Structure 1
């Protein structure tokens, strides 16, 4: 289910840009141009993005009121005011303070951090022994070294297909046709070669695979 963000910003250009970007990222955004009516939306809001300079009550006052009534909803202040005293004032009640100008990826990352911190979304990774697969960010991490594991495009597509069907035995035909988009020809070794190289990058011991299991005569499986 899409997370609902309450976005309060009176600048039309900035507001339109941020609203469109966050909507494109899958969030349900309610955009207000002042704090009037903000409390009415808080019951089902997952996070607030709040500008400081607003008509009527300023963002600091609005944020304090919202936080008082809804302490479990994270608030991110978004402001062109960069003075230390402004940041400290904001962080007395807000959970983060982002200064303008900013990159949309930075705001999205900070939103993600606060949603996870407040338990609004579950961790988006799968743990397979020493391997951590971050599905949303297309990252694989070896937790023994905390280093990213770099896969080729086809290796990544194969592994993601297996992860999307955990504990299921997938035939060679199913995997090949999903990844390559063309009919599988019996005897073709292409998939087998890719699986071998994939195991060399993922497994503790490629000769005794623990992550990608071979089901003899049928195909492969990833157990969770």
Structure 2
């Protein structure tokens, strides 16, 4: 499937020209003419191209909002502002910054680099619902808020044991002995307590967990 780009630009002439150009070069482009058309439920895209000079909220505020909710989605700022202060403000969250006027071939080259970089990074990152797992840095993050989820050593070990055996049911005995390195005693509540605390940190609604599934009378499972 062709890469999909979300393009936010209020200038009708530039927006129409660039949308046509990118479409002719093999991209699927969704063009929004105002930040008011941008909902919190951002469509699944490979890249966001964002103009700074937007009516209402400026592009910096819009970009920060997008990056907070979707930290792995690359953002390319496109603007007539050329001062170093503006560039530094944009690059504080954006992945690239181009000033107008620009050559469309250079823009396409930068788009290819950003999308390729995202693809390379995604091989080390797994999305599990609202949870993003970075295997290289052992980092677990809430991708909706962009915040890290800090687990204790035992909580992390439990979760990674379940995650690395995704879609398989792990018995309480198997899970306990793998994490604690001790024989499991039937009736021991230690694992159950740790699972409860783990859900409080990972689940959107710990009372109705969707990430860590309880298999009654057997054990637990993480489903991908």
* Residues 2, 27 of structure 1: 8 Å contact kept: yes
| Residues 72-118 of structure 1: per-residue CA shift (max 9 Å, x gap) | 00000000000000000000000000000000001100000000111
1:10-21 correspondence to structure 2 within 5 Å: 10-21=10-21
* Residues 6, 41 of structure 1: 8 Å contact kept: no
Q: Does 1:92 align with 2:92?
A: yes
> Following the alignment from structure 2 to structure 1, what is the Cα–Cα distance between the partners of residues 34 and 120?
25
Higher radius of gyration, 1 or 2? 1
Name 1:49's counterpart in structure 2. 49
Q: CA deviation at 1:37?
A: 3.0
Q: Does 1:66 align with 2:105?
A: no
Name 1:157's counterpart in structure 2. none
> Following the alignment from structure 1 to structure 2, what is the Cα–Cα distance between the partners of residues 39 and 93?
19
3-state SS of the aligned residue for 2:30?
Answer: strand
Q: How many residues align?
A: 122
The runs of 5 or more residues in structure 1 that have no matched partner are 123-224
Q: TM-score, normalised by structure 1?
A: 0.52
3-state SS of the aligned residue for 1:26?
Answer: coil
Task: Specify whether residues 51 and 77 from structure 1 end up closer, same or farther in structure 2 by C-alpha distance, changes over 3 A only.
Answer: same
Q: Does 1:82 align with 2:82?
A: yes
3-state SS of the aligned residue for 2:36?
Answer: coil
Q: TM-score, normalised by structure 2?
A: 0.52
Q: CA deviation at 1:36?
A: 1.7
* Residues 50, 77 of structure 1: 8 Å contact kept: yes
The runs of 5 or more residues in structure 2 that have no matched partner are 123-224
Name 2:117's counterpart in structure 1. 117
* Residues 51, 79 of structure 1: 8 Å contact kept: yes
Name 1:24's counterpart in structure 2. 24
The two structures, once aligned, show a CA RMSD in angstroms of 1.8
Task: Specify whether residues 82 and 113 from structure 1 end up closer, same or farther in structure 2 by C-alpha distance, changes over 3 A only.
Answer: same
> Following the alignment from structure 2 to structure 1, what is the Cα–Cα distance between the partners of residues 94 and 32?
18
| Residues 155-176 of structure 1: per-residue CA shift (max 9 Å, x gap) | xxxxxxxxxxxxxxxxxxxxxx
